[in-house]
Amino acid sequence: MQFSRAASRALRANVVQQASRTGIREFAAATPDMFDYDQTPPNTGGEVENTEPSFVFTPPGKNHLFVPGPCNINERVQRAMMRPGMNHRDPFFAPLAKSVFEDLKYLFKTSSGTPFIFPSSGTGAWEASLSNTLSPGDKVVAYRYGTFSHLWIDQAQRLGLDVTVLETPWGEGADEGRLEKLLKEDVNKEIKAVLVVHNETTTGVTSDIGKVRQAMDNAFHPSLLLVDGVSSIGSCEFKFDDWKVDVAVTGSQKALSLPTGLGLCCASPKALSKMKDAKLPRVFFAFEDMLKTNPAGGFPYTPSIPLLYGLKESLAMLKEEGINNAIARHARFAEGTRRAVQAWGLKLLCKDPRWYSNSLTVIEVPKEVDSGDIVKLAYCKYNLSIGVGLMKVQGKVFRIGHLGDMNEVSLLGAIAGVEMALIDAGVKITPGSGVGAAVKYFQETSKVIPDRELPEVMKYVQP
């Protein structure tokens, strides 16, 4: 971790002030030096030279990673990725690639869709979804209710699409009725695609893609349904075939619990049929090029072999757990976290339970508190990483990510850390209240781990 000198000072002032205000004198006294390190290169302009001593300290224990992506990476997956340099043209590669393409269908819940793997992040997969199906000037409709829906709209506009934006309050999800009305009014069927971010990672809101599809069908509208499932696929219910999604997009660093570096798409036969008329420029993200090589287990350019091994292992683990069990696990994590929030007396940004997210919980803080300080306190004092508020809700909310590789006990650790950081920042909550509520819920709802169902354990649990 590197802080510039200015950032170190700001952080130190901030933390010391917070700590003093909340009466934690030892911490206030102990921390000034903690931020005195500055690893920025010497100022070559010659005006100010860095004379402060450098100081590096690795805190014991793990960094507790509870942002909504990147996520914790299981050791099994880490080991699977430990590979020397390998040649993707050697005979081992094609069977690996083919098996990963096949396994991805399980993730997307599809038999008709074609998965694609790009060495990119989710933003690249967004671009693939648009550039392979649409032409400059095409009309598309998109909901905007957070940073990621905003960024996808921005990308669509910069690619030359004509975007009708359905502005939606941040904290709400896709209003299917508005879409249905709009599509019914489009009598000449000029709208070519509907863009929906399934789980808005800024607000902790999961829209109902099944109902969005229903709205499109009610309007008898032929437009494509393009869905960003970056922070939902693998942690929230996602039914590519049943919902007739045309292109679904995700990224490796979310529920798949891999490092960032793979942008994944799944395209329907209808989406692929639009490809030959789609005139948006594409090279790196061209589905056509992938289709020339992928079926035989090849790539049009050099793939990341360690990430493909990681993806294979992550999908193997998902199959072992069962995707529906994984989704149910995430739903329980979310419910336990919401119970903690309720016990603290704080409010969720997402008010309507129909939009509650399995992947993350976004919590409003009292007006007099800057949520960014809570995030900094959690990191600097407890080595706990939680998410800041983004854009419109910066300073007003913080985010607890509970997707990917984790279990009840690790999540309870994060809830405890958040609880302490809240108290540090002067939020009036009762110590133990949130942890207690989550403990109760997890104790009541946890099942014995499938291959550990020992008779002496099973006698304590309800059938």
Q: Rounded to whole angstroms, how far apart are CA atoms 192 and 270?
A: 12
Tokens of 412: 């309870």
228 binds ligand PLP (CB under 6 A): yes
For residues 347 and 338, the answer to whether their CB atoms sit within 8 Å is no
For residues 124 and 285, the answer to whether their CB atoms sit within 8 Å is yes
434 binds ligand PLP (CB under 6 A): no
148 binds ligand PLP (CB under 6 A): yes
- What is the residue type of 263? G
305: Cβ–Cβ under 8 A, 6 or more apart, which residues? Answer: 83, 86, 88, 93, 96
Among 121, 157, 293, 410, binds ligand PLP (CB under 6 A): 121
155 binds ligand PLP (CB under 6 A): no
**Minimum separation from the CB atom of position 456 to ligand PLP (A):** 44
For residues 429 and 345, the answer to whether their CB atoms sit within 8 Å is yes
Total Cβ atoms within 10 A of residue 32: 12
| Contacting range for ligand PLP; rule: CB under 6 A; set: 6-14, 116-124, 374-382, 390-398 | 116-124
- Give the H or E element holding residue 345: none
Among 74, 132, 203, 231, binds ligand PLP (CB under 6 A): 231
385 binds ligand PLP (CB under 6 A): no
Tokens of 226: 């393009």
How distant, in Å, are the alpha carbons of 2, 13, 43, 196 from that of 50? 14, 19, 7, 48
Q: Which residue is nearest to ligand PLP (CB)?
A: 122
**Minimum separation from the CB atom of position 362 to ligand PLP (A):** 12
Tell me whether residue 18 or residue 168 sits nearer to ligand PLP (CB atom). 168
403 binds ligand PLP (CB under 6 A): no
| Contacting range for ligand PLP; rule: CB under 6 A; set: 103-111, 224-232, 280-288, 293-301 | 224-232
Q: Rounded to whole angstroms, how far apart are CA atoms 46 and 312?
A: 51
Tokens of 72: 């914790």
**Minimum separation from the CB atom of position 434 to ligand PLP (A):** 25
Site string for ligand PLP, 22-61 (x = CB under 6 A): ----------------------------------------
Burial label for 22, CB within 10 Å (0-12, 13-18, 19+), is: middle
In 84-188, at which residue ranges do the beta strands (DSSP E only) sit? 114-118, 139-144, 162-167
Among 69, 204, 306, 404, binds ligand PLP (CB under 6 A): 69
Among 31, 74, 129, 201, binds ligand PLP (CB under 6 A): 201
Site string for ligand PLP, 255-274 (x = CB under 6 A): -----x--------------
Among 251, 303, 389, 434, binds ligand PLP (CB under 6 A): 251
Tell me whether residue 144 or residue 381 sits nearer to ligand PLP (CB atom). 144
371 binds ligand PLP (CB under 6 A): no
| Contacting range for ligand PLP; rule: CB under 6 A; set: 34-42, 182-190, 226-234, 371-379 | 226-234
| Contacting range for ligand PLP; rule: CB under 6 A; set: 8-16, 120-128, 392-400, 409-417 | 120-128
- What is the residue type of 213? R
Instruction: Please spell the DSSP secondary structure of 100-122, one letter per residue.
Output: HHHHHHHHHT-SS-EEEEESS-H
Q: How do beta strands 199-200 and 139-144 pair?
A: unpaired
Tell me whether residue 236 or residue 427 sits nearer to ligand PLP (CB atom). 236
230 binds ligand PLP (CB under 6 A): yes
122 binds ligand PLP (CB under 6 A): yes
For residues 265 and 125, the answer to whether their CB atoms sit within 8 Å is yes
346: Cβ–Cβ under 8 A, 6 or more apart, which residues? Answer: 363, 364, 365, 427, 429
Among 14, 123, 157, 218, binds ligand PLP (CB under 6 A): 123
197 binds ligand PLP (CB under 6 A): yes
**Minimum separation from the CB atom of position 166 to ligand PLP (A):** 17
Residue with tokens 């099973």: 458
Total Cβ atoms within 10 A of residue 445: 12
Query: For binding to ligand PLP (CB under 6 A), which residues are involved?
Result: 69, 121-123, 148, 197, 201, 228, 230-231, 251, 260
